[in-house]
Structure 1
Amino acid sequence: MCTMTWNIEQGSYHVFFNRDEFKTRSKAIPPKQYSVDGMQVIMPLDPDGGGTWFAVNHFGCTFALLNYYQGNLPKGDLVSRGSIVKHCVGFSAFCEVYRYLQSANLHHFAPFSFVCFMPEGQKGWSVRLFQWDGVALSIYTPRPPISSCAFDIEQVIEARKLAFEQMIRALPEGVNTSLDFAQLHQSHHAHAPTLSYCLHRHDSETVSFTQLTVDHLAIHLSYCDGPPCQTTMSERVSMMRSMPPEHHLDRAV
């Protein structure tokens, strides 16, 4: 139950992420800067699973994970999907992510959509979606939005896609669009609240909103610890960006 959008511009990119959870789930630890095996990483933490759903490293590589409810749930004990993000935070090339997922026993994980942003050349960016459906791993070049939902999946995805397309059509050319994207993630469907970007149900709701900007110099992450329609940004974390090794810049899959 999450929704993610993004906008890749010349020399920078922006990511927007609504995390939807059941109201019984523990409150997340807001994002901070951590040192992981010598890599500087900004990420929130999930106290229940011990992992995270969103992280960015000092190379400006971003990793975001959503549930994939359309998949087939493997049998047996399952490992928290949030551990996948924490394992990959040191990577700076798609091939590293792919190699890890190929070698991992994914049958220990529930289905997921894993979205990664990596540098392409000196100032460009690319995005890939690694999707595990419980049977096979697939790779796509995705387009926003990406949504996950445990109920009325097709209807929810279609409604959020339509809202995104309407926003894009209304945007003037050459104008910074981050505010428009953020407002979309605060929005409510006029007639069906469960189709909204900002979700409110009796048992679940949007519990946080993450906004990220990465350019060739710096990384800026803002975090709203609550429904974005009701809560202001409470956490802001920034760090300078480092260039990844030259041989990593074009290692795509």
Structure 2
Amino acid sequence: MCTVTFVPSEDEYLVGMNRDELFSRPRALPPKVFVKGAMEMVYPREPSGGTWIACNNQGNLLALLNWNGSLSHNLGEKRRTRGLVIRELAGEPDLPATDSAFRRMNLHGVFPFRLIGVFRSEKIVNEWRWDGTVKQLLRLPWARKHWFSSSLSDSLAEKERRRACEAVAGEPAAGSNDWIRRLHRSHVPGPGPFSVCVHRQDAATVSYTEVRCSKTQISMDYLDGNPCLKTRFDELASLAVKDPLAHDNLPKLQI
């Protein structure tokens, strides 16, 4: 259950992601810088270690949405969490290596998902899909795009939230930090399960993550809670692009 917005420019990009979860899920931990081999990456995480969004110091970003499609009722037993997919892939240096690693992954027992990959150097957006049986790949243009999911209905989430996105697409500030934040706390046509900022009796948008990647710097801002109820970020983590010496003062955890 998520909404992802991707806004690119020539050499930079901006991503906003609402994470929607059941209230019964444990509270997530804010983003930190992690080290895996020679690669540094930044991401928030669940207490179990999984994550739904990450960016490494090559400027490559991964974001995962649950995929609630026609096969969802025939999935059998869940044996592995989707949250570990990004952790396994975020340390890859480029698109070919990430694609190769994804193709090699054993996803047996992992429920369906869509994995969005943004690769700054190549200016390519990939969407890998796993329907519980078969892996798929979509190659997407370097252009503004939104993705939506809901455990109630991906198609209804797509229909209602896309209306909200289209309503503000032509605004003069479209694509700015302020614009993407207003979009991700919006309630068109009203607060509910299919508004961008989700409100349900059993679930809601529980965090908003914003990533800005330039030629030299990656920043990840994190808002813990419903974005319509807060205006200030709780945490900020950052990386220097391809420069592991520029952020020695940040907390690093070896994984």
After TM superposition, the score normalised by the length of structure 2 is: 0.87
State the match for 1:201 in structure 2. 200
Q: Residues of 1 paired with 2:40 and 2:100: CA distance?
A: 22
Q: Counterpart amino acid of 1:141?
A: R
Structure 1, unmatched stretches of 5+, are 244-253
- Contact between 1:72 and 1:133, CA under 8 Å: does it hold in 2? yes
State the match for 2:137 in structure 1. 139
Q: How does 1:176-195 map to 2 (within 5 A)?
A: 177-191=176-190, 193-195=192-194
Q: Residues of 1 paired with 2:109 and 2:97: CA distance?
A: 20
More displaced, 15-24 or 97-106? 97-106
Describe the shift of the 1:40–1:166 C-alpha distance in structure 2 as closer, same or farther (beyond 3 A): same
Q: Residues of 2 paired with 1:51 and 1:221: CA distance?
A: 17
Q: Counterpart amino acid of 2:55?
A: V
Shift of 1:238: 1.4
More displaced, 2-11 or 103-112? 103-112
- Contact between 2:117 and 2:126, CA under 8 Å: does it hold in 1? yes
1:99 matches 2:100: yes
State the match for 1:248 in structure 2. none
Shift of 1:90: 1.0
Shift of 1:77: 4.2
State the match for 1:54 in structure 2. 53
Describe the shift of the 1:25–1:77 C-alpha distance in structure 2 as closer, same or farther (beyond 3 A): closer
Count of matched residue positions in the alignment of Structure 1 and Structure 2? 238
- Contact between 2:78 and 2:111, CA under 8 Å: does it hold in 1? no
State the match for 1:112 in structure 2. 113
More displaced, 27-36 or 89-98? 89-98
The alignment-based identity, stated in percent, is 28
Q: Residues of 2 paired with 1:235 and 1:126: CA distance?
A: 28
State the match for 1:126 in structure 2. 124
Shift of 1:8: 0.6
- Contact between 2:58 and 2:94, CA under 8 Å: does it hold in 1? no
Give the number of the structure whose residues are more often helix, by fraction. 1
After TM superposition, the score normalised by the length of structure 1 is: 0.88
Q: Residues of 2 paired with 1:72 and 1:96: CA distance?
A: 29
Describe the shift of the 1:225–1:10 C-alpha distance in structure 2 as closer, same or farther (beyond 3 A): same
More displaced, 188-197 or 85-94? 188-197
Aligned to 2:170, the other structure's residue is in SS state helix
- Contact between 2:11 and 2:214, CA under 8 Å: does it hold in 1? yes
Q: How does 1:69-80 map to 2 (within 5 A)?
A: 69-70=68-69, 72-73=71-72, 74-80=75-81
Q: Residues of 1 paired with 2:157 and 2:76: CA distance?
A: 27
Root mean square deviation, CA, Å? 1.9
Structure 2, unmatched stretches of 5+, are 244-255
